[in-house]
Structures are given as structure tokens and as C-alpha cells.
Structure 1
């Protein structure tokens, strides 16, 4: 694959498979493309405005300057496919399935009763998965921040958070009153202690361990062809993508297209 400045080919990867589109429509978002074009329906359509997190996927890019691969979660409903030139997209189907082997994140969410209707679950899984790709041993604070963009109307969040906390090097059972402590750590006599024991749904030893070496690798083809990088690489190292003005404008425009059915041609002067 030899990149050309005048090429009309949009090239990116989805779950390790190369995708090539000619004359891609700039109004098509990643969520529509995943569900309707390549038929990966694990990524759910919820609000369509980037609020619920049901369509969360992981986007990975290689920075030829720092020679590092960065992973970040994104709501697919607000990502134009034209912004994915040279990127690798990972969906919930790409991290594991019952046909192959479910991923530790999927296993712990399921066994920890972190799903009921299941509609938000793929987004929850991908948010946690992206965090683990960046921080294999996350802190409780990182987990809470990561799940801040995902909504759930069934579980009350507790079992989801507890399932995610099983990846923490040291997690407590209840973090009573938000103090980060455990009720079982308090000095009490044994009879009183037994009455206050918080029963667990699972033990960590029941789960398969997280092995970062078994994750999907970043496509070597995208690392060799550094000319494939689009404007999303304007978010330099240390800058979260939403902090980049060009990205914010891109998402803002797509939000108008998605929610208000405004054609890009009518706002070209914006």
C-alpha cells in the first residue's frame, strides 16, 4: 500500500481486517458503517449524540514521531469514517466471542452480574477494555472516570464498577461512604464482624487473567505507511482527542448531520 496525496481511497482497519473505501461519504459516521455496511451489530445505536456510550469503540493510531501507539475510546456515532484514515478500530466483536474465547472484561461483566438488558454492555466493555490497553492495572479513580461516559438504566452501576475493579491490583469490597476503605478493615470483635460481612458474587481466582500479549496487534501496515495519517493525528502526545479544536469541530458538524439532518453543503461556510 503506497499512500498518495491524490488518492481517493480511505484505508483503515476494523478488528485486524483492512477496509478500503473509494469516494467515502463525509456524512457517514462509523456507527452506521459498522452496523449497516460491514454488519458488525455488536456496537449499539442509542442516543446518536455521543451521550449514552452504547456505541463505544476503541480507536488506535501510530505516531511516527514518538513511535508509540495510542488507544482511545470514542463514540462511533460521532466519528466520521473519513477521519479514520490510517487508524485501527476495535469493536466488541474483535476482543472476544463465545465462538473463540471471551475476553476477561466480558467474562467479569457477565459473572459479576454487570448486565441486565445488555444494550449498554458492549459500550461498557469497550470503555473498560480501552482503559486496560493503556493501564493494565488501573486505579479505582481511573475506572470511575472511564465509565463516566457510559449510561445504564438497569443495573445501578454497582455490579459494573465492581466487575471492572477486579482488574485493580488492590480493590476493596465496599469503599464505605466513598472513603476508599472497607467495612471489614475496621476493628471489631469476631461475632460483630461476621454479621457485617459483605458477601461477594465471585472470587478473582475464578477469572482468566488479563494477558496484554494476547490482544490484537496494531496493523504493521499502518506503522510502515506513515503518510496515511489524517487530521486526527493533530492531537499530539499528551493531548486527549476532544481537546483538539479540529476534532471538536469535526464531531460538532457530524452531530448536526446525525441529529438534525443538516447537510454538510448547507454549513460549508461554518
Structure 2
């Protein structure tokens, strides 16, 4: 099938897509957008989180056929330009919340979603919003610091 959608603000048409393949596969392999990571493929880790029509989803659980005519925003699409970081991305770097980086894109998108809904979240609200994201490298404290810093910015 030919998949027609808007990705990171740009209309896209991708030929040869099987409607059952995952949005994650389409983003990474067909559109060359490697930001969303392929980890669990079961919606358990959050590494592949993206927006689908402004709703946070695990792209590994979304079939490509469900994306037809819709809008997708990835971690790459949050930055104002290719050469500039989004303030949330900058907060993660500055707080040292980026270690191996595998979970970081999903955490950044989930943080973006949280702060769009609640610009001054409590620690409990931050923990709840990020509960679907697993990090295997940290004790999460630097991630919480990054979210707090982004909320203040």
C-alpha cells in the first residue's frame, strides 16, 4: 500500500508499506527517522513513544494501516530546527539524564506530553506520567531532575 500521512509537519508518501507492519518500523526503516527506539515491541518500555494525532502512543503497537491520513510527531519533530534542541531535550542533556540514550527519546516525548497538559507537575505526577518508560541505566533521579528543570524553563 501507499501510506500517506504527515510526519513532523511534512506530508509524506511511502510506497510498498504492508498495512500490518508497525509504525515504528515505518518510521525507522522506511522514513529513516531513528529517534524512536525498537526495544520490547510490546508497548512495555516506552522507547518508541510518538504522538499520533497529538495522542501519546507506543509506535510498536500501531499498525501502519492505522496511520493513513493522520499526523505523527516523533522526537525529531519536537526540536525547532535540525540544529537546535527542544528545551526538554536540552534539560535532559544538562541534567545528565542521557546515559546510553536508548530510553531517552521516549522519555522526552512523554515529558513533552506531560508538560503540555500540566506545566507544573508534582513529583508524583511526573512519576505517573513516566511510568510507562523503562530505563535500564539509571535510578531515574537525573531523569526526574531533567523533567523538573524543563518544567521550570
The verdict on a shared fold, with TM-score over 0.5 as the criterion, is yes
Counterpart of 1:53 (choices 46, 62, 65) is: 46
Secondary structure of 1:82's partner? helix
Match of 2:101 in 1: 118
Rounded Cα–Cα distance in structure 2 between residues aligned with 1:9 and 1:36: 15
Contact kept? 1:57, 1:76, Cα under 8 Å: yes
Tell me how far apart the structure 2 counterparts of residues 98 and 10 of structure 1 sit (CA, whole Å): 25
After superposition, the C-alpha distances for 1:103-131 in whole angstroms (9 at most, x for unaligned) are 11101111111111111111111111122
CA contact (8 A) 1:138 1:167 kept: no
Q: Residue 156 and residue 97 in structure 1: after superposition, are their counterparts in 2 closer, same or farther (change >3 A)? A: farther
Counterpart-to-counterpart distance in 1, 2:56 and 2:36: 13
Q: Which has the larger radius of gyration?
A: 1
Counting only pairs closer than 5 Å after superposition, residues 176-195 of structure 1 correspond to structure 2 as none
CA 1:9–1:153 in 2, change beyond 3 Å: closer, same or farther? closer
Of the candidates 28, 38, 45, which is equivalent to residue 31 of structure 2? 38
Two-structure CA RMSD over aligned residues (Å)? 2.1
TM-score for the superposition, normalised by structure 2: 0.88
Is residue 165 of structure 1 aligned with residue 148 of structure 2? yes
1:86 and 1:139 mapped to 2: Cα distance? 36
- Any stretches of 5+ residues in structure 1 without a counterpart? 1-7, 61-70, 169-203, 210-270
Q: CA shift at 1:17, angstroms?
A: 0.9
Choose the corresponding residue for 1:88, options 44, 66, 71: 71
With normalisation by structure 1, the TM-score equals 0.52
Question: Please, which runs of 5 or more residues in structure 2 have no aligned partner?
Answer: none
In structure 1, what is the equivalent of residue 60 of structure 2?
A: 77
104, 125, 132: which one aligns with 1:142: 125
Cα offset, 1:45, TM superposition: 0.7
